[in-house]
Copies of this chain bind each other. A is one copy, B any other.
């Protein structure tokens, strides 16, 4: 839920499913627990000073699970007055957090966690560097095999490992086997974005989130809109994708690509500069409305405190709040 941060989206995503969600901040954990979702993984390495807040939420009905790859932190978890359950973070190739499946420290951390050990978790974020379905499938299989290998090592040493968790949006969508895995996490999956479309996670017209903008200036060769770096984010992930969309792809008010290849080429704090498709000049009046599909929806969504729900037109049928901050 780190992308959507919305109980309405969580309900859609878990309808008819056993449920259980993953969050990226304690603010999210508190928000979703307050909306009745108990089974929550806080999938960012825990620090000792955050355990009191977790314990407080768990004492009123939540069942927040924490994550660590550090022996001292494992001690802090196990010795807390109200210890949460914990997963050990496994690095299956991203080289961000976690220890390798065969790291000698794995059993040491497990033994320090003692009965709070609930399983293992990995995030193959390096799938974002993939550029084909074959890349995704290969990374997904390495992710699966690595986290399952860590689980097997722990089981061989006598530990119960009920949770074997993997996931990134590309690998969640394109894994060919999930053997041995008990859950798959995916965030940007909820809405999609230009970068994910470029790397093959989903189709370009699957992007569910756009930023509504108005034309505020007209100059020869470009248009100014009132959506800049704050509304769109300064994320430039498509810079390294097959196609570079600048700061976003320009769509019409109905979310359709009727404006050709127009993109937001520059982003000031509150001004976006639209570069029209050379074959389709944009003659729009001041105040005309457009939609901008984002490079990286996790970053763009976080600039806004609510979603205005539309269904193909510009009539807002619902407003869904989201939880920002920490």
Interface residues of A (CB under 8 A from B): 2, 24-25, 44-49, 68-70, 72-73, 95-97, 125, 214-219, 224, 226, 229-231, 233-236, 268-271, 273, 285-287, 296, 298-299, 302-305, 324-326
Contact = CB atoms under 8 A, between A and B. Distances in A.
A186 to B, nearest CB: 13
A325 B302 contact: no
A44 B225 CA distance: 10
Query: 3 closest A-B pairs (Cβ-Cβ)?
Result: A45-B216, A47-B287, A234-B234
B97 A216 contact: yes
A2 B269 contact: yes
Nearest to A326: B231
Given A216-B46, A217-B69, A234-B236, A269 B298 contact: yes
A269 B285 CA distance: 37
Given A97-B216, A299-B229, A302-B230, A269 B45 contact: no
Given A234-B235, A299-B269, A70 B286 contact: yes
B229 A270 contact: no
Contacts of A325: 304-305
Contact of A234 (B46, B69, B233, B305): B233
Given A2-B269, A96-B224, A125-B268, A215 B47 contact: yes
Contacts of A125: 268
Contact of A49 (B269, B287, B304): B287
Nearest to A73: B286
Contacts of A49: 214, 287
Given A299-B230, A305-B324, A224 B45 contact: yes
Contacts of A273: 96
A257 B216 CA distance: 42
A197 B45 CA distance: 33
Nearest to A324: B305
A317 B107 CA distance: 44
A45 B219 CA distance: 13
Contacts of A299: 229-230, 234, 269
16 contacts: A2-B270, A24-B270, A44-B226, A45-B286, A46-B216, A48-B286, A49-B214, A73-B286, A96-B273, A97-B216, A97-B271, A229-B299, A230-B298, A231-B326, A234-B235, A305-B324
Contact of A269 (B24, B236, B269, B305): B24
Nearest to A187: B269
Contact of A217 (B70, B72, B285): B70
Nearest to A97: B217
Contacts of A2: 269-270
Given A70-B218, A96-B217, A234-B296, 8 more contacts: A45-B216, A45-B226, A70-B286, A97-B217, A97-B224, A230-B302, A233-B233, A236-B236
